[in-house]
A and B are shown apart, each in its own frame.
Chain A
């Protein structure tokens, strides 16, 4: 469950980083950066976007190119990134090897 991995500021640590006038890097703790009423007003902008429906697509990694097939459309992928994903999918046991001509 999400609460086991995320626990607000305890597990995702995020900071505002800024440079002061002397060029020194300054980190501001997230809690200190929150400001009451402005925060609420901002949250209103993000209402009603959810829940999100998830769909599947096919990822193809050939020797020379990598792409996704989404609703019949071919969307190119960064080859290096696809190779990395392929290794991860292999480790997860989710890879389908196909020999022969690539028809996609």
Chain B
């Protein structure tokens, strides 16, 4: 049996707001050749309904000894608030200025058809795509393209709908 210490904390989501949290992991030097510099890990959570609010407890099962960085995304109808935080010494310090984004929606009442969004994944540059309505990640299906001799990815995206995507990078890597 292997055991270790995890961390957990709770936040309350107001009505019609759905928060998801990612832990940002910096890849150790010895693995950098084949891995991206940063990877993200979505935190599991349990939730408890309190009137019109939801109290969510997030579990971090791979904490570091000193500190960990978190990306907090609060989705609401057509909007998301991006918050950054630092977990250190059993407390979470939030960034003072969250970044609010509004989706430039091209919503339509017309019948929708799911279309494939094809791309060539760069394993050194992972990009996370989230459906803001469900807050679920859109996972790509990987396939081998014999014509180009490359592994390619296919995501099913609905037309006339907004998705939220992000990647973690260093300023100097641009």
Residues on A lying within 8 angstroms of B by beta carbon are 1-2, 5-21, 23, 25, 27-28, 30, 32-35, 38-39, 42-43, 45-46, 49-62, 68, 70, 75, 77-78, 81-82, 84-86, 88-89, 91-100, 102
Interface mask (B85-109 → A, CB under 8 Å = 1, otherwise 0) = 1110011111100111111111000
Cα–Cα distance between A54 and B5 once the two chains are bound (Å): 12
Cα–Cα distance between A63 and B133 once the two chains are bound (Å): 37
Q: Chain A contacts of B170 at CB under 8 A?
A: 11
Instruction: List 16 interface pairs A-B (beta carbons < 8 Å), by A numbering.
Output: A12-B84, A14-B167, A15-B164, A18-B105, A23-B159, A32-B104, A49-B11, A51-B93, A54-B92, A56-B8, A58-B4, A59-B3, A77-B61, A81-B61, A82-B61, A89-B4
Cα–Cα distance between A64 and B1 once the two chains are bound (Å): 10
Contact (Cβ within 8 A) A50 B168: no
- Which of B3, B46, B64, B117 has the most chain A CB atoms inside 10 A of its CB? B3
Q: Which secondary structure dominates chain B's binding surface? A: strand
Also in contact, A16 and B104, with CB within 8 A (given A45-B17, A51-B92, A60-B3): yes
Contact (Cβ within 8 A) A16 B164: yes
Which B residue's beta carbon lies closest to that of A55?
A: B8
Also in contact, A39 and B102, with CB within 8 A (given A12-B168, A45-B14, A86-B2): yes
Instruction: Point out the residue from B25, B65, B100, B168 that lies within 8 Å of A11, measured CB to CB.
Output: B168
Residues on B lying within 8 angstroms of A by beta carbon are 1-12, 14, 17, 24-26, 28, 44, 46, 57, 59, 61-65, 69, 71, 74, 76, 79, 81-82, 84-87, 90-95, 98-106, 115, 117, 129, 157-171, 174
Which A residue's beta carbon lies closest to that of B71?
A: A12
Cα–Cα distance between A38 and B77 once the two chains are bound (Å): 12
Q: Chain A contacts of B25 at CB under 8 A?
A: 88
Known: A20-B159, A46-B81, A58-B4. 8 other contacts (CB 8 A): A12-B82, A12-B166, A16-B162, A33-B101, A56-B90, A58-B5, A61-B2, A78-B44
Q: Chain B contacts of A33 at CB under 8 A?
A: 101-104
Cα–Cα distance between A35 and B104 once the two chains are bound (Å): 10
Contact (Cβ within 8 A) B106 A20: yes
* Shortest distance between the CB of B37 and any CB in chain A (Å): 11
Q: Chain A contacts of B64 at CB under 8 A?
A: 92
Q: Chain A contacts of B84 at CB under 8 A?
A: 2, 6, 12
Q: Chain B contacts of A19 at CB under 8 A?
A: 106, 115, 117, 157-161
Which B residue's beta carbon lies closest to that of A90?
A: B2
Which B residue's beta carbon lies closest to that of A96?
A: B3
